[in-house]
Amino acid sequence: MHRLALASLFLIPLAATLACGGDPVPSEPADLVLLGGRVITLDADSRVAEALAVRGAHVAAVGSDAEIEALASPATRRIDLAGRAVTPGLMDAHVHFASGGQSMLYTLDLSYPNVESIAEVQAAVAGQAERLGDGEWVRGRGWDEGKLAELRYILASDLDEVVPDRPVWLSHTMGHYGVANSLALDMAGITADTPDPPGGTIDRDADGRPTGVLKESAQGLVSRLIPGLGPEEQRAGIRALADAFNAECMTGGKDPGIGPRVWEAYRDVQEAGDLSVRIFALWRGRNGTIDEVRGYADSLATFTRPHESTGDDHLIAGGVKLYIDGSGGARTAWLYEDWNRDHTDTDTGNRGYPTMDPDELRRRFHAYHDAGLHVSIHSIGDRAIDWTVDSFREALEATPTRGLRHGIIHSNIPTDRALDLMAELQRDWETGYPEPSPTFIWWIGDTYAGNFGPERALRLNPFRSFRERGMIWASGSDYSVTPFPARYGVWASVARQPLLGVYGEQPYGTAESVDVETALRSFTTWVAHQMFLEDKVGTIEPGKYADLAVWDRDPLTVPTEELRDMSCEMTVFNGDVVYERAGG
């Protein structure tokens, strides 16, 4: 790293006046200065400074304490960093922000360590049922069999023991499967004779009877019966998660698969002055005939063109999200070889499946691409990832369009062929960018290790292979699949350790680890790129928005194990301090 010398002070003219030598000289004082720390700019030269100044919504200068102090006035707020580190505000390339905020407020939390056994799940569900009105559904989320003492699915029979008289639906932490009690199954008309829906699985016991576990599209048989939340609950969820993001030094995210009502909720929160993060929203894909999809794509393209304009840089209609496969937890992601069970056993005959006919989905993707829309496609399995990058290449051959930055969501276990093609697409077309979730290795890493097996696990999140090919990627949490604090993802990118170590402390190895600075870039600079905001946020440089994170320690120098324990001391968004730790 290179410390900024006095002569390398970076400034922007706050009222556009110039000194005789041509150096910009601010004619107005800074509103905020941060002094006496380590300002990790993450600029192209990896420079580290002592201090920075903010004027209005933007970074005005980065330099030494003396240089920045000279830009202050009696009215300027001064922050003594006392050696603490400043980074760009961290961002999340894949966060179900609106729905995650609602879940945080209104859904029973069954995540670890709240529950660690089937009995504790039963107790939590029974307690929730007692608090609800007559006939209300018990809705829960966050359970993971890999964190339960029994290492098995929750079943309808488990739920029937404690809540037989009201419907129950508990979504798995990955969101790709869940479990219903028998009453909810009856309400949905699910019996032993019910066929699996296209793109879904009804889990059954040895006698063919539904166990209560529903995967992928089969979840909709029950979830469509659950009353939805209203506009105020949507707005409250967005506000709550924005505040929670700020408390973790986070200032932006890419929310995939929203609809018009969620967009309106975002606009309402923004207009009320409560949206203290930048949101880049992806619309959900449309079902229907290919002509209907083309019409939908053309309508979105009239206002969803971030490669041309990101509007106010605050709430951005960004593109479209599609799915080609399912989940590593449900063993529904699309693979070339059979899934594993319990790490070394084989789930014989199960290689997952595409969510719909791949040829039809490819036609739909081409429609969005041809309309000039940015598209990110959920692709977990190696066969699914090959399909996605091949689809990108085919679309570009038919309609050459540089700069749409199509993304590969999760991109868990790409083949070498896929990696090479991603590198080619990034270099030649500015597209084909992985949008992985480093925290999968940690938070759901025990379940994943059991399902991917010892060989495939070593290929999960191949970040070093990305860098060896000159690629960039944008990291996310997939919240509420994993916890959203980006510090966990930074740590997981380096450490590659699962939460509990059910199949050993290092089933993923460390060959694909990266250094801390690279991990930070994947949550800042490169997320900004995938939000089409790299000229405006993602590094600390004059002229960019002042989206800043102040930490209690320096991520570039602390031991790896301390990265996930970093504490956010202050968050600045658009030049305003939106979070300060009490007593900090």
* pLDDT tens string 293-328: 999 999 999 999 999 999 999 999 999 999 999 999
339/348 Cα distance (integer angstroms):
7
Q: Is the pLDDT score of 423 beyond 60? A: yes
pLDDT of residue 17: 27
pLDDT value for 409: 98
Q: Which two tokens stand for residue 515?
A: 């250094």
CA-wise closest residue to 35 among 74, 5, 7, 62: 62
Q: Positive or negative CA dihedral for 195, 201, 205, 206?
A: positive
- The 10s digit of each residue's pLDDT in 22-69 is 334 456 999 999 999 999 999 999 999 999 999 999 999 999 999 999
Residue 13 has pLDDT above 90, yes or no: no
User: What is the token pair recorded at 428?
Assistant: 């030649």
Q: Are the beta carbons of 564 and 488 closer than 8 angstroms?
A: yes
In contact, 136 and 128? CB cutoff 8 Å: no
pLDDT, tens digit, for every residue of 516-525?
A: 999 999 999 9
Average pLDDT across the chain, whole number: 95
Could you give all domains of the chain from N- to C-terminal order, each with its CATH number? 138-223 (3.10.310.70)
| Burial of 44 (C-beta count, 10 Å sphere; 0-12/13-18/19+) | exposed
Q: What confidence tens digit (pLDDT) does each residue in 198-249 have?
A: 999 999 999 999 999 999 999 999 999 999 999 999 999 999 999 999 999 9
Tokens of 163: 């809540």
At 218, give phi and psi (nearest 5°): -65, -25
Dist. CA 53–CA 91, nearest whole Å: 22
Tokens matching residue 122? 């039963």
Q: Per the omega criterion (within 30 degrees of 0), is the bond before 480 cis?
A: yes
Taken as a whole, the chain contains a residue count of 584
Cite the DSSP H helix spans in 321-381: 358-370
| Residue 350: CB atoms within 10 Å | 15
Helix (H, G, I), strand (E, B) or coil at 48: strand
pLDDT at 23: 35
456: Cβ contacts below 8 Å, ≥ 6 apart:
340, 382, 413
Compute the average pLDDT of residues 425-453. 98
Q: What is the DSSP letter of 565?
A: G
> In angstroms, what CA-CA distances link 480 with 111, 225, 384, 440, 444?
10, 22, 23, 12, 12
Cβ neighbours of residue 91 under 8 Å, at least 6 residues apart? 250, 251, 252, 253, 254, 278, 486, 523, 524, 527, 528, 531, 537, 538
* pLDDT cut 70: percent of the chain above it: 95
Residue 482 in tokens: 């994993």
Spatial contact of 462 and 414, defined as CB atoms under 8 Å apart: yes
Helix, strand, coil tally for the chain in percent (to 5): 30, 20, 45
φ/ψ bin of 198: left (φ > 0), alpha (ψ from -120 to 50), beta (otherwise): beta
Dump pLDDT digits (tens) for 270-295: 999 999 999 999 999 999 999 999 99
CB 303 within 8 A of CB 317: yes
Look up residue 273 and give its two tokens.
């002055």
pLDDT band at 11; cut points 50, 70, 90: low
Place of tokens 């324990």: 565
Q: Contact 282/254 with Cβ under 8 angstroms?
A: yes
The pLDDT, as a whole number, for residue 27 is 63
Single pTM value for the model: 0.94
Q: Would you place residue 2 in the very low, low, confident or very high pLDDT band (cuts 50, 70, 90)? A: very low
Q: Is the peptide bond before 113 cis (omega within 30 degrees of 0)?
A: yes
Tell me what pLDDT residue 161 has. Answer: 98
Greatest Cα-to-Cα distance within the chain, rounded to the nearest angstrom: 87
Asked if the model's pLDDT at residue 330 lies above 70, the reply is yes
Q: What percent of the chain has pLDDT over 90?
A: 94
The answer to whether residue 8 scores a pLDDT higher than 60 is no
Rg (CA), the chain: 24
Residue 4: pLDDT band by 50, 70, 90 thresholds?
Answer: very low
Asked if residue 6 has pLDDT above 70, the reply is no
